[in-house]
Every structure is written in C-alpha cells, then in structure tokens.
Amino acid sequence: MKKYYLNYLDELESEAIYVLREVWAQFQNPVILFSGGKDSILVTHLAKKAFHPAKIPFSLMHVDTGHNFPETIKFRDDLIKELGVNLIVGSVQESIDQGRVAEEKGKNATRNALQITTLLDAIEINKVDCAIGGGRRDEEKARAKERFFSHRDDFGQWDPKNQRPELWNLFNGKCFEGEHFRAFPISNWTEMDVWNYIKKENIAIPSLYYAHEREVVWRQNSWIPNSEFLKLEAHEEILVKKIRFRTLGDITITGGIESDADTLEKIANEVSAMRQTERGNRSDDKRSETAMEDRKRQGYF
C-alpha cells in the first residue's frame, strides 16, 4: 500500500516551488537576492528544481557591501557559472563614492544599514518588479508577519500594518509602476528545516559553514573574524579558534561559534541541540529590540 501524503520537508519544497513558479508567472522582471548565505543558496537550488529542465529564468542580484568573506565571492562566481545565469551586483562602495550614503562612524560601524539604499537603487535601475529573498518567518519577530508576496511602495518601503491579506495559495502580485514586491518562498522553513534539507539534497555551501581554524576576536558574546576591516580595541586580542558560522553576513558583523562540526551530518546535529537563536550572533540585530522591523520598513531584505 502506497502512502498518499508528503513528509514535511517534501511539502515545504513543493510549496516553495509553487511560490517560485507564481513569481515567474506574475512578474516581468524578477530576480533572486543572492547573498552567498545558505538561505539564498537554498532558494537558488529550489529555483533550479522548479524550472527543470529549463534553466533558472531569474538573474541573481548580489548587494555587495565590499566587506565580504572572500570565500563567499568565490562561491557566488562558481555557482553563476554552473547555472548559466546572469549576475547583477549592487555595490555599496559605489553608493558611498557617489555620495548616496555615508559610512557609519564609531567602533561598531557597519555597512549593514547602507545596503538598503544600494538595494533599492539596484532594484530601480534594473527595473526589477519582484526580488525573491531567503527570509524566513522563524528568524525574527518582524519577519513572522511577512507574506509570501510582500508589497513595497514606490519608496521601497514595507507597511506592516497594511499588508495584503494572503488566503489559501492565491497570491496577488499586482502593482503599479515604480512599486515592487518581495517574495519569500521559504517563509515557512525553520533553521532546522533548512539544514535537514541541505543535508538530504547534499547542497554545496561555502566552507565557512563548516568548522575550520580561523583568526577571531571575542566581541559582543561571539567570535568576530579577523579581517582588514577590524579595528582592535586595547583589551582585545586575536586568537586562533576552530569555529564555524551559523549565518553569513558582512565579515565585520558575523559572529562565529566554536564548533567541531565539519560535515553536514554534524552541523545538523549541532543545530538541533542549539539553545540560542541563529541571529543571536548578528550584531546588526542587537542594536535595539525593533532593529529588524525598523530596517524592514525602510526596505531592507
């Protein structure tokens, strides 16, 4: 006797493929926002599945802060070549050079918030009407209310109190010129789901996610990697530790954790035993209780 129900990972996959196909059908010029992190890699992998045997019909858009892990850029370029898709890069450095944004000052300065302007500029210049992201509702409390199809006004802003109701699987992607949408195919996935799926599908991810020896500094309760952008405080010292990263953002703000997990199996086991949330090591979220919501309203990922 065969079973006629899906296990939860297959159901999440089927839902994400449905969302990606809806995006393709409803928009003129959609792109995948690609950061080189596991969630955007997962979305890209799902897009490959959704349109097989055709190739992915979306360009990949990378908002490049200039503060990257070198591993991330190499991974991105290899993937682009393998998939035969187009890459669009929005450069924060260029936004700074053009005077569109100003670099933050002070010890904890990052380019995190500057990305908003670069992202919105890139969306406008490339006439993108839907940017597909790897955002998940379990990540953060403001994201818990995101729709699959999330409307942005002509300033790129999100209005969380005036979202379109989303019933059944009927997504309304209609918008006026100058407005755009964000689409989140993996809304319903948790961090654990992502790792279980990456393991099951054996998806290639940057080596940064695996435990490796690295120069780091202890700051704000996590191990910040040493880089040319790091300014050491008097009491801080650089150590070599075996660490891995749970999320990948800018090299300046992404904290690692001490770990021996150097296979997908070990990572999945480690994540399932974690007692801290994934973004707990992201200093961009630690600035205030509503840091994510405030950025999202302005047009953040």
Partner 1 sequence: MLDNNQLLRFTTAGSVDDGKSTLIGRLLYDSKSIFEDQLEAIENTSKKKGHDGVDLALFTDGLKDEREQGITIDVAYRYFTTPKRKFIIADTPGHIQYTRNMVTGASTANAAIILVDARNGVIEQTRRHTFIASLLQIPHIIVCINKMDLVDYSEEAYNKVINQFEEFSSKMLVKDIRFIPISALEGDNVVNRSIAMNWYQGAPLLHTLETMHISSDINKVDARFPVQTVLRPQSNNEFRDYRGYAGRISSGVLRPGDEVTIMPSGFTSKIKTIDTFEGTLEEAFAPMSVSVTLEDEIDISRGDMIVRSNNKPVASQDLEVMLCWLHNNSAKSRTKYTIRHTSNEQKAMIKDVVYKININTLERNSEDKDLHMNDICKVKIRTTKPIMIDSYRENRTTGSIILIDDTTNETVAAGMIV
From CA 223, how far away is CA 226, in angstroms rounded? 9
Nearer to partner 1, 100 or 286 (CB): 286
List the Cα angle 132/135/140 in 5-degree steps.
Answer: 155
* Under rule CB under 8 A, residue 274 binds partner 1: yes
Q: By CB under 8 A, what part of segment 14-43 binds partner 1?
A: 14-15, 17-18, 21-22, 24-25
* Under rule CB under 8 A, residue 280 binds partner 1: yes
Contacting residue, 1, 99, 105, 161, with partner 1 by CB under 8 A:
161
**HEC per residue, 25-75:** HHCCCEEEECCCCHHHHHHHHHHHHHHCCCCCCCEEEEEECCCCCHHHHHH
The residue range among 90-98, 208-216, 229-237, 288-296 that interacts with partner 1, by the rule CB under 8 A, is 288-296
Nearer to partner 1, 25 or 234 (CB): 25
Q: In what order do the strands lie in the sheet with 30-33?
A: 87-91, 59-64, 30-33, 130-132, 180-183, 149-152
From CA 32, how far away is CA 57, in angstroms rounded? 10
From CA 109, how far away is CA 257, in angstroms rounded? 22
* Under rule CB under 8 A, residue 81 binds partner 1: no
Q: By CB under 8 A, what part of segment 183-242 binds partner 1?
A: 187-188, 190, 192-193, 196
Nearer to partner 1, 21 or 100 (CB): 21
From CA 187, how far away is CA 147, in angstroms rounded? 8
Residues that bind partner 1 (CB under 8 A): 2-15, 17-18, 21-22, 24-25, 48-55, 137-138, 141-142, 144-145, 160-161, 163-170, 172, 174-176, 187-188, 190, 192-193, 196, 274-277, 280, 289-290, 293
